[in-house]
Structure 1
Amino acid sequence: MADNSTIAKQVIEAAGGKENIASVAHCATRLRVMLHDKEKADISAIEEIEKVKGAYYNSGQLQIIFGTGTVNKMYDEVMKLDIEGKTKSEMKEETKDQGNLFQRWIRTFGDVFVPIIPALVATGLFMGLRGLVTQPQILALFGLAPEDISQNFILYTQVLTDTAFIFLPALVAWSTFKVFGGSPILGIVLGLMLVSPALPNAWAAAGGEVDPIMFLGFIPVIGYQGSVLPAFIVGIIGAKLEKGLRKRIPEALDLILTPFLVLLIMITAGLFLIGPIFHIVENGIFTATLWVLDLPLGLSGLIIGGLHQVIVITGVHHIFNLLEIQLLERVGENAFNPLITAAIAAQGGAALAVGMKSKAKKMKALALPSSLSAFLGITEPAIFGVNLRYMKPFVMGLIGGAAGGFFASIVNITASGMAITVIPGSLLYIDTFFGLAMYVVTNAIAIGVAFGLTWAFGYDDKMLEKTK
């Protein structure tokens, strides 16, 4: 077995040598290599290197899949070879103009929302735990009833579950300012202004409890608690405005005038123009999402469960973050999560079948850990390292995802949060026994169908020779 140092040298050589490498960075699972000439890289040779779970060229980068944990060690070994290292943000700056306009915008959308997802994941888990501990059946085990729960305890749980969504515009504006090169603190303040208690509360206005403030007699002005798009657009324009002002305002006045003008101009535009317009857009997206999720006869599960991983390949799946956030904020539950969970679990099931059926040691060492990664919610090693390489396992995984999604849609299960799936995702369903049980069955169907079809029709070791 080769050590990490040897593997790093083999990777660099197969990538065209040190002189062909502009820079290297890494994410959770992949080594990201910027090349001077991609034609000099031998991807087939890279895929044959020990510990490599797949390689492909995307978004202007050679992306080499090692998996969680391993990629950090490989990056350290590459750095020892005097290769220029860069942070993910620096590499994103290098690749921001690559791909078509839609791909660039979706990539930017992901850059904004990925940093705030951990807070929303935690909030979802808090929601699930609150639902669990307030169940009459659970309380009965301790000789309690729902009316015995202290109101102070309920208030405490509301702080845990409501805060991130109440101040979501502040989180979004902060991250948007950061991504677009503005001052994040100005983003936070702008976001907080959008949810100022001086404005009519968005949820109260939606429920008819209060009326919007009508500016000029026809522009409705409300708070934007839980909204995403108004803060996102305000953040983009605000960051660009700040950068433009700093170039034009004398340094002696910059500290005073720039933040003053950014906040004044952007909150005015946010409340009276951007907010009203993009709140309508946001409502339209939400209505379309509900329409898809409400399709009869399990069609939503068939469509989303069957096609989700195809969209993941394109790299534009970050748009789903907006949909899940809106579901949680407006409905209080996430019907999208079990459908994409089925899609993810199925790819793991297909990779597991390949690993168990193959007699090749290299394939077993690649496919089995990749399937485990998928069962933990990360499908890149399974998709790019195994299933998509031989295509049939990937297709069988799509079928398994459709089957699992169909079942989840029929039984109508929903999650209390977002962003975690398969095994970790079970924490989002613990508030009811039925929901947890149906979630387990959903995953079992997706994995079972994908595994069975891949074993029977999707893979044999003859494919190894064809691929070579």
Structure 2
Amino acid sequence: MRNDPASTAAAVLARVGGPANVLSVAHCMTRLRLTLADPAAGDEEALRAVPGVLAVVAAGPGWQIVLGPGVVDEVTAAVEDALRDRVPPGAAPQDPRDALPAPPPGAPPNPRDEVPAAVPGAAAEVPRDEGPADAPPGAALKEVIRRRNATPFKTVLRRVANVFVPLIPALIGCGILAGLNGLLLNAGWLPGLTPALAAIASAFMALIAVFVGYNTAKEFGGTPVLGGAVAAVVVYPGVAKVTAFGTQLAPGQGGVLGALAAAFLATRVEKWCRGRVPGALDVLLTPTLTVLVPGLLTLYGLMYAAGTMATAIGTAANWLLETTGAVAGLVLGGLFLPLVMLGLHQALIPLHATLIEQQGYTVLLPLLAMAGAGQVGASLAVYVRLRHDVALRTTIRSALPAGLLGVGEPLIYGVSLPLGRPFLTACAGGAAGGAFVGFFAMLGTKVGATAIGPSGWALFPLLAGNRGPGAAAAVYGGGLLTGYAVGFAATYLFGFARRPRVTAAA
């Protein structure tokens, strides 16, 4: 039975330090993403105990609460509603346990509910399952990775991901329409409708730089509409009349990378102006300088540099697959699950978007999607091996449909990661599937996706390639089957600790 979104939102907010501690809210397909003013005020362990929360990825101010597809949309809306009525400064904080949704009838009591409230001035003694004797096999692995994840570089990656995550729904919708339009064109059906579908599917990608600029300014503390205004320079047709470094600029040159850099520069200029321009002139001078200075630098520097970088990304991706496809697929497919676990996979969206702008599809996403296939195979092996673990088998049955459609968090946090070894064998399955797809790229059959977001079986409608959608679907399907098989076999054979053999005394 699904928990009430408002109750879940209240419980989450109580455990992250209250509404007043939340600076920003966003979500992707499965995760609620919060930026906290004081991360120390959050209680990660109590947050994991909230019914409906599958996992928590906390590193610095950025907290990701895994809720699953569908649920995350409802809870995010409830969180945003709750934040409209924030607790006034100095008000007494709410007891986090008061916001915990009531457990279903007959459910066992939660041990955390028995923890007494802390006495002011006294150290709180909260019982925790710590130490190698009590921790599950995957807990130590997760904690080590989490600590390594709290670095400035990875923090930057998360902030870049926050720029692109809100764009995913539009990328998915427009990508599916583009794939449908391609099928209709190839079949010669509905010729009167295909121009309209092409316009609808392509309009967002033609103006994606504006949305990137808007979100960049919002993420880095600027005025969003000013970031969008500066980024719009990148796609404005009139830039074709501008010459920089001896070459004529082209509309869209630099793509999302140029838009990201332009909007970030705009936020820096705006903040500089806010602290120096007199208040009476601020309303006039600050917006003008924020658009003018970054706009000129974008035209006479950033567009050229970002365009060169974007071209290099496309060239490198093609070279990588054509010359070392199997090895590249093995590495990418094998390492993607840890990125998903830590929430860093969204930082790859700029690369995907750049490849889609250049080639019409991204060749990286099908390789990375093989990690989900390894996860499914590993979970099936756990289901077969642990026949007497009713609770775990129930978790697998409920999470497997989402896993087949490319949503891997329920299986990661509910099955493989807590067990330890199955997480590593799932990575082996993803590596095998990626090597399969990469091997065919070396033979000349590229597989790409026209949009970002879905994977697993949900990616089939978005597949494209240099030899048509049929060949792309065949190679991609073969990669999924390889990932399933290797993930299952590796987990079945090596995913569980061997029991010591007992010999009879002579």
Distance in 2 separating the partners of 1:37 and 1:195 = 38
Instruction: Give, in angstroms, the shift of residue 70 of structure 1.
Output: 5.7
**Are 1:173 and 2:222 an aligned pair?**
no
Q: Residue 134 of structure 1 is aligned with which of 168, 174, 185?
A: 185
The answer to whether the Cα contact below 8 Å between 2:256 and 2:350 also exists between their aligned partners in 1 is yes
More divergent stretch after superposition (338-347 vs 281-290): 281-290
Aligned to 1:338: 366
Aligned to 2:117: none
Instruction: Give, in angstroms, the shift of residue 288 of structure 1.
Output: 2.5
1:341-420 aligned at under 5 Å gives the runs 341-358=369-386, 359-411=388-440, 412=445, 413-420=447-454
Q: Residue 442 of structure 1 is aligned with which of 474, 479, 483?
A: 479
Distance in 1 separating the partners of 2:354 and 2:407 = 23
Alpha-carbon deviations, 1:66-104, whole Å to 9, x = none? 534566679979x9975499xxxxxxxxxxxx9322111
Q: CA distance change for structure 1 residues 48 and 332 in 2, over 3 Å: closer, same or farther?
A: closer
Aligned to 2:460: 426
Q: CA distance change for structure 1 residues 57 and 219 in 2, over 3 Å: closer, same or farther?
A: same
**Are 1:458 and 2:495 an aligned pair?**
yes
The answer to whether the Cα contact below 8 Å between 2:209 and 2:234 also exists between their aligned partners in 1 is yes
Q: Which amino acid aligns with 1:132?
A: L
More divergent stretch after superposition (57-66 vs 350-359): 57-66
Distance in 1 separating the partners of 2:15 and 2:339 = 33
Q: CA distance change for structure 1 residues 324 and 258 in 2, over 3 Å: closer, same or farther?
A: same
Instruction: Give, in angstroms, the shift of residue 52 of structure 1.
Output: 5.8
Distance in 2 separating the partners of 1:182 and 1:297 = 41
Aligned to 1:93: none
Distance in 2 separating the partners of 1:243 and 1:311 = 33
Q: Which amino acid aligns with 1:115?
A: P
Q: Which amino acid aligns with 1:189?
A: A
Q: CA distance change for structure 1 residues 59 and 374 in 2, over 3 Å: closer, same or farther?
A: farther
The answer to whether the Cα contact below 8 Å between 1:346 and 1:397 also exists between their aligned partners in 2 is yes
Q: Which amino acid aligns with 1:360?
A: D
Aligned to 1:287: 315
Aligned to 1:88: none
Q: Which amino acid aligns with 2:449?
A: A
**Are 1:115 and 2:166 an aligned pair?**
yes
Instruction: Give, in angstroms, the shift of residue 321 of structure 1.
Output: 1.0
The answer to whether the Cα contact below 8 Å between 2:26 and 2:166 also exists between their aligned partners in 1 is no
The answer to whether the Cα contact below 8 Å between 1:333 and 1:415 also exists between their aligned partners in 2 is yes
The answer to whether the Cα contact below 8 Å between 2:416 and 2:422 also exists between their aligned partners in 1 is yes
Number of corresponding residues? 421
SS class of match (2:243): strand
Q: Which amino acid aligns with 1:395?
A: L
Alpha-carbon deviations, 1:299-323, whole Å to 9, x = none? 2222211222233344432332122
Aligned to 1:164: 204
Q: Residue 124 of structure 1 is aligned with which of 149, 158, 175?
A: 175
Q: Which amino acid aligns with 2:326?
A: G
Aligned to 1:319: 347
Distance in 1 separating the partners of 2:427 and 2:497 = 19
Identity, % of aligned pairs? 27
Distance in 1 separating the partners of 2:308 and 2:322 = 21
Distance in 2 separating the partners of 1:123 and 1:386 = 33
The answer to whether the Cα contact below 8 Å between 1:396 and 1:454 also exists between their aligned partners in 2 is yes
1:48-59 aligned at under 5 Å gives the runs 53-54=54-55, 57-59=58-60
The answer to whether the Cα contact below 8 Å between 1:165 and 1:226 also exists between their aligned partners in 2 is no
Distance in 2 separating the partners of 1:35 and 1:177 = 18
Instruction: Give, in angstroms, the shift of residue 263 of structure 1.
Output: 1.5
SS class of match (2:238): coil
Distance in 2 separating the partners of 1:315 and 1:153 = 39
Q: Residue 186 of structure 1 is aligned with which of 226, 230, 234?
A: 226
Distance in 2 separating the partners of 1:172 and 1:120 = 12
Q: Which amino acid aligns with 1:227?
A: G
Instruction: Give, in angstroms, the shift of residue 330 of structure 1.
Output: 0.9
Q: CA distance change for structure 1 residues 429 and 183 in 2, over 3 Å: closer, same or farther?
A: same
Ranges in structure 1 where 5+ consecutive residues have no aligned partner? 86-97, 143-148, 201-211, 463-468
TM-score calculated relative to the size of structure 1? 0.75
The answer to whether the Cα contact below 8 Å between 1:4 and 1:74 also exists between their aligned partners in 2 is no
The answer to whether the Cα contact below 8 Å between 2:255 and 2:306 also exists between their aligned partners in 1 is no
Aligned to 2:118: none
Aligned to 1:307: 335
The answer to whether the Cα contact below 8 Å between 1:349 and 1:447 also exists between their aligned partners in 2 is yes
Ranges in structure 2 where 5+ consecutive residues have no aligned partner? 83-92, 100-148, 500-506
